[in-house]
Amino acid sequence: MSFASTLKQLREKNKLSQKDIANYLGITRQAVASYELAKREPDYGVLKKLADYFGISIDYLLGRSNCKEVDAITIGRNIDLIRGNLTYRELSEDISNRLGALIFPDMLELYAKGERMPFAGTIKILAKYARVKDSFFRNYNTAETYKKERELYKLEVEQQKTAETCNDYLSDSPLAFIRDKEIRKWVLSYDSLPYLKLAKEIQETGLPVSAFSPLIKSIRRTGEES
């Protein structure tokens, strides 16, 4: 479908007059009529305003795509980026083998061409396969940015695993009763070892902790004065 036909169809579907469109664009009604009669071509500024107004992609407005979704073309290009030299069938099989998820080859091709918009769940599968965040697919990317995104994703996954391992250790360790995270970190720090040894010696004296408070306050004051 041509731009002229698409514009007219969108306008009539939304029950708008040529004057309504003209007022929004800041042009004359005659100019809008010329667009719909294919007697005049819009510039990029007009195309962007119309796409934003109707909530569609410029490619759909120009008849280059059958999908109205704004991000469809960008997502499609990123799918082709992660596909590399694989055919859509090979990509489908690779996703199935790695993740146990099925995305049919013909659907992958429609997504890549911007003809269909993947569901959110499908994008999550593709992101997991590509080892990137979901947001990767909605941004313009190159082979270089794709590589960087994968490196960042790998780093975040490793950090998350480390944090989970640490949390599991703490929950199963004798330190689990310490609710304050900062204190638990301090106890586990190598630099805290001399203080822990001193605390053990104090405990072995049998004296209450309160007995050492005046001494600690005196040492603190001396440090502040010096």
Mean pLDDT by 10 residues, the chain (226 residues): 89 93 94 93 91 86 78 90 95 95 94 88 94 92 94 86 61 58 69 79 80 78 70
Q: Do both 80 and 133 map to the same domain?
A: yes
Q: Do both 33 and 79 map to the same domain?
A: no
> For position 168, what pLDDT does the model report?
58
Q: Do the domain assignments include residue 128?
A: yes
84 with 94: CB under 8 angstroms?
Answer: no
> For position 226, what pLDDT does the model report?
60
Q: Do the domain assignments include residue 89?
A: yes
Surface-to-core class of residue 160, CB atoms within 10 Å of its CB (0-12 exposed, 13-18 middle, 19+ buried): exposed
Q: Do the domain assignments include residue 169?
A: no
Q: Do both 54 and 8 map to the same domain?
A: yes
- What letter does residue 64 receive in the DSSP assignment? S
Angstrom distance (rounded) from CA 184 to CA 176: 9
Residue 66: how many other CB atoms lie within 10 Å: 14
Among candidates 203, 216, 157, 166, which has minimal Cα distance to 188?
Answer: 166
Q: Do both 45 and 85 map to the same domain?
A: no
**Domain CATH number, residue 94:** 1.10.260.40
Domain limit, last residue, from 94, 120, 138: 138
Q: Do the domain assignments include residue 10?
A: yes
Structure tokens at 166: 């640490």
Q: Do both 91 and 48 map to the same domain?
A: no
Domain limit, last residue, from 138, 167, 195: 138
> For position 161, what pLDDT does the model report?
73
Among candidates 191, 173, 185, 64, which has minimal Cα distance to 115?
Answer: 64
Q: Do both 19 and 77 map to the same domain?
A: no
> For position 187, what pLDDT does the model report?
65
Q: Do the domain assignments include residue 39?
A: yes
Q: Do the domain assignments include residue 115?
A: yes
Q: Do both 91 and 131 map to the same domain?
A: yes
57 with 70: CB under 8 angstroms?
Answer: yes
Q: Do both 98 and 47 map to the same domain?
A: no
Q: Do the domain assignments include residue 157?
A: no
Name the residue range of residue 36's domain. Answer: 3-61
Contacts of 104 (CB under 8 A, 6+ apart): 92
Q: Do both 132 and 76 map to the same domain?
A: yes
Q: Do both 77 and 134 map to the same domain?
A: yes
> For position 115, what pLDDT does the model report?
82
> How many Cα neighbours within 13 Å face the side chain of 180?
4
Domain limit, last residue, from 61, 80, 110: 61
> For position 18, what pLDDT does the model report?
95
Q: Do the domain assignments include residue 133?
A: yes
